[in-house]
Chain A
Amino acid sequence: MSNFAKTFSSSLGKKLVMALTGIFLCTFLVVHLVGNLQLFKDDAGQAFNAYAYFMTHFGPIKIVSYLLYASIIIHAVYALLLTAGNKKARPVAYAVQKGGQNSPWTSRNMGILGTILLIFIVVHMGDFWWKYHNAELPYAKYEISLDNPNDIQVSELPYDANRLIHSEIVDVQAGKQIVVSKDLYKIVNNAFQTWWYVLLYVVAMAALSFHLIHGFKSAFQTIGWNNSNLVPIIRFLGVWVFGVLIPLAFAAMPLYFFFK
């Protein structure tokens, strides 16, 4: 085995993979959240649909997105490998073990939380990513006044295989810009009208919160960034930004559409 392969098959190496993919996924969450904030805009989804197009068709971002998919898979596969190894490390279980007295619940249940998240990711991507790429979705036509960008007229166009996913034309004479986009916004809006679907999202975001409260700081502990100056910053980010703010903001989206 090469030194490289040996490194990543060692217990520490596997942990490093978990940490690096984990941190990468955390940075993705930030980008994803910033983009999704477009959903809250009162523009009938025009900005959101434009953003969806940009994210799926801009070259460099496409590359990053493949890295992202790979990271999710690697993170999950290594988690399974590590868990299997860890189970083997204790072949006979204790009759009584009070983990609650020496460690936080989240830290001992990353696997369960991770599994919830994985299920969520599959559902989430199936409903939005897959449909956006492959389903015969209707289009939204936005007519935006050039004088007043807040004056938007929206109409629906039926699915047409020959239509571009996203097009923008400026009609100077009519004094408006015409934007035609595959209407992901509508899918989102429709999806979040069902209570149990909203609940699934909220539960998943709770799982995300707990996963990150432990996971974020844990990743830095694993890579060895734990000096006394860094630790308070990492803990703050891990709990308040990744553990609270981000999951709350994500959970607000389905709730927003449900109660809108």
Chain B
Amino acid sequence: MKLDAKIPQGPLAEKWSKHKFNLKLVNPANKRKYTVIVVGTGLAGSSAAASLAQLGYNVKAFCFQDSPRRAHSIAAQGGINGAKNYQNDGDSVYRLFYDTIKGGDYRAREGNVYRLAEVSVNIIDQCVAQGVPFAREYGGLLDNRSFGGSQVSRTFYARGQTGQQLLLGAYSSLNRQINLGKVKMFTRHEMMDVVTIDGEAKGIVTRDLISGAIETHSAHAVLLCTGGYGNVFYLSTNAMGCNVTAAWKAHKRGAYFANPCFTQIHPTCIPVTGEHQSKLTLMSESLRNDGRVWAPKTKELAEKIRKGEIKASELKDTDRDYFLERKYPAFGNLVPRDVASRNAKEIVDEGRGVGTSGIAVYLDFAESISRLGEDAVRAKYGNLFDMYQQITDENPYKQPMRIYPAVHYTMGGLWVDYNLQTTVKGLYCLGEANFSEHGANRLGASALMQGLADGYFVIPYTLGDYLATIGPKEIEANHPAFEETKKNVVDRINKLLSLKGNKTVSEYHRELGHIMWEYCGMARTEEGLIKAKGLIRELKEDFWKNAIVTGINEEFNQNLENAGRVADFIELGELMVDDALDRKESCGGHFRLESQTPEGEALRDDDNYAYVAAWQYNGDNQPESLHKEELVFENVKLTQRSYK
């Protein structure tokens, strides 16, 4: 199958408008004859479900959490970009487009990214109208802050809880539609598989997490808004429940998985303290607006700090290496995430890391506190500082924060065309779950923007085109495909429940995480990746022999839920390694040690790798086939990314 991204012809700025005009419409009276399934209720899912219901479609929305409001979008801290140019500092749709393409190290589609920048302004309007309490200035107008990878202030925020406020806004829209009877909400339901009839998605199979009931649901189209797969690394900033299962099942039903190895490692997280650790906590990138990243100048000094012989705050300025400011004078501490993360890793590898483990660098606010006063710093970042103190038992107003990169976001995901449709007809993918507009690296405050863009302003148009094409005829809910898929699901659950070995599912998950972090994390080599592939295979085999899964299906069984998710993560891990092996260049978050500039920056190979790698599933334990979607750049010139 040849990949057709369906990007409209014509000038960049007119693509989306023209496309919208060319899309087929569904007659208002016919809309209520269609049912659409939305899986996941984060920013993308809630906004899509609400917007589609508002148009008149019947929507069935599903989430595994106990409430749609708990989706992990809620945890996004820093902000959301919008090309409003309210600050009169030279921002524009084109600049946001350019920053995003460049930030993504030229591995995203021009057309999609431009559309994202275009609708970013509508998102801000929409959210304010819903009652999202963005930060404001004394004059009553919206405030902005700046974020990594851009030189304008275009980030709208609600203290350190922007994701929460945006999600509650989308959730309130969803609630309105539930109230009106247009959305039927299924909480504590996990999607177990996609049902396809003649190659088109016509429904899903779910498990009621409380009763264990396996149910089938039919629809004219299925939207997966199920988030990212960062938890493949076990430790990440993702919520414990974040998983790849929905996307992975779709992949096995024919949806290609694109750029799986593109993961974002966030530079400012609280370092790991021990084996018991279950997740990592992010400190918003916005901290880098006022915090300065540094490490001791020499190994010897670092050693003394690690032993507690000298305090970080007492170290002379001349003994400190503000390495981001030194190496990137133009962007300083505000370089994009991949660059900041890689530099922190280099420092630690050189033996200049701090903290008892030596796996951390400093983020220092002493200068800001003396310049702005402690109160001003508290007003801006108080909740983040509190969070830091809560976790580490250290006072960041007195001692610099210790930070280290952690897995945060996955740019890869299900391959979708310009309409957000996967390679399975009728199956759409939105938000972080799709391979997206962020290329090989996502800029800060762009994830919220993309999730809401997809849900509020893209899918309501593009889905109609498909629905109009298939017509409003009823779905055969008793088509054998439903029973068959359901049986597969039940068989797999029984297989999991039959595992009575001696190792817990979490132990497997942790081991997988170690492999992924070590060999497919911040720096990757051919040798390491090949080794990782072998290790993952062994792990998979061992899992299906020696794992322990307790209890039965017909009950609330968190161990069983987790087992299913970890089993899928193991399979995904292998694909990520394959993808990382295939991409011999470095780009964005994907850093191959074999491919770097003399200064140690990521060295792209545009001649050979300016493509989206879309992987096709060929059956259990079969190698996946790679399909390449060549990226065409008509508007931006591909250059070596420089933030100097």
Asked whether the complex places CB atoms of A and B closer than 8 A, the reply is: no
* A interface, CB within 8 angstroms of B: none
Q: Which residues of B contact A (CB under 8 A)?
A: none
